[in-house]
Amino acid sequence: MIWSAPPDRRVVETVVAIFRDSAERSHQRLSALQYCDWVRSYHWLDASGMALYFLNQVETLGIEGALPAATLGRLRQNLADNRMRSSAMFAEFIAINQAFQQAGVQYCNLKGFTLSPDSCPDPVLRCQLDFDFLVDGHQLELCREILADTGYILTGTTNTVWEFKAGSSELVSIEDHYKPRPQRSVELHFTSSETPSRDERLDRLTLRSWDGLALPTLSASDQFVGQALHLFGHVCSACTRLAWFLEYKRHISVRYSDRPFWEEVRERSQTHRHASIAIGLATLLSTQLFGCEAPDQLNGWTLDRLPPAVRLWADHYGRKAILADFPGTKLYLLLLDELSRGDNSWQKKKRSSLLPLRRAPRIVHAGPEDNLRKRLGREVHQTRFILFRFRFHATQGLRYMIEAVRWKRRLTAFQKYAPSVAIERPRLSGIEKTSLDKG
């Protein structure tokens, strides 16, 4: 585990701007960057999920010549590698679906391939890491048996997710990030209060066809709400992917004029406590980044009704948090401070987030055939991860404490003058999972 050098900020801002600027302006910005600036920023491009989306946008605008030849070549090789990887993953995707269907599992596919075409024009542009399924909580053991038959082992559990791994446990180098991997990962999501139960979304599924096989997915409105809640969950954590906001923006653009869809989204959101805030915050941040504009039918009960403190956090820290290099920041704790007012248990949770005392999660697992050398190598990787994690908590914890003082002053000043300050919704016209903190 290596603590990477920060990316060149001009590269980061240029990559974001190219999705809303004209071809001429984008060419000018790209031409001003040097090859060394791109090399320094490769890790950020990969970790943010933006590399292939960026290449696609450059080619769409016809400005490939503004990139250094070596950088353009690297991006195109990444795309070729990811095409092969997506093909291999798609075969696995179909196989797991068939196994679930043959066993009579009540389930549906989440995220991943189901995000196309509304959120992603082509699955090859996404660097998918795992498969996600929503399952009936009463069938978890059946699902485990099915996955075990194909080599998957249960490696982690929470009260709403079971995680499975299969294949080699060797860590993948950054050079092989887009190549087919021997590692496979599945997450089973389920509803749980005191015990696992059936999620109501399983009662209103949509069937989509892949290679002539009808596979269950969330209904269109449930998928959008789930996408916003997924983004919100990551904004309320140390690190999120910039590419997810670009996908959210595309989803809104594709559905912009679909009034029945937005009405159904509002109806589905009523069962989620933070759905309106999640959608409003995702829309606001997407607007600030990519010029996303949602229909008034959606904004009226989401963006326009964001709590003032949440909007203030987005204005001052949202962009910094989203564009931060891996492994992120702890600025999200300022947001959670506002969202958790009245929650007496929050201070204890925050202390745990600032300085986790529990054992770090394992990032590598020994295989049954591993020899002593491989086992020692894995322990070295684990030790490096522990040190990496410690540095993150130390540096970002200190930054949080400094920013918390500033935030308190800013919030006090805002509340003092808020009655005379009109908060306007931004309208940009333009062209159109191991979190270190949770360990």
- In the chain, which stretches have pLDDT less than 70? 1-4, 168-175, 360-369, 418-439
- Contact indicator for 119, 250 with CB cutoff of 8 Å: yes
Instruction: Report pLDDT for 425.
Output: 43
- pTM beyond cutoff 0.85: yes
Instruction: Report pLDDT for 366.
Output: 62
Q: What are the CA-CA distances from residue 22 to residues 14, 27, 57, 278, 430 (Å)?
A: 12, 9, 11, 30, 9
d(CA 422, CA 73): 49
Q: Tell me the pLDDT tens digit for each residue of 10-66.
A: 999 999 999 999 999 999 999 999 999 999 999 999 999 999 999 999 999 999 999
Instruction: Report pLDDT for 174.
Output: 65
Instruction: Report pLDDT for 382.
Output: 74
Instruction: Report pLDDT for 429.
Output: 34
What phi-psi label fits residue 111: left (phi over 0), alpha (psi between -120 and 50 degrees) or beta? left
Helix (H) or strand (E) holding 249: helix 242-255
Which of 30, 48, 14 is closest to 245 using CA atoms? 48
d(CA 183, CA 167): 5
Q: Tell me the pLDDT tens digit for each residue of 246-295.
A: 999 999 999 999 999 999 999 999 989 899 999 999 999 999 999 988 99
Instruction: Report pLDDT for 195.
Output: 86
Counting DSSP H helices and E strands in the chain, the numbers are 16, 9
Instruction: Report pLDDT for 40.
Output: 95
Instruction: Report pLDDT for 428.
Output: 37
Which of 44, 37, 41, 106 is closest to 68 using CA atoms? 37
Instruction: Report pLDDT for 349.
Output: 86
| 20 residue type, one letter | R
Which of 330, 243, 234 is closest to 278 using CA atoms? 234
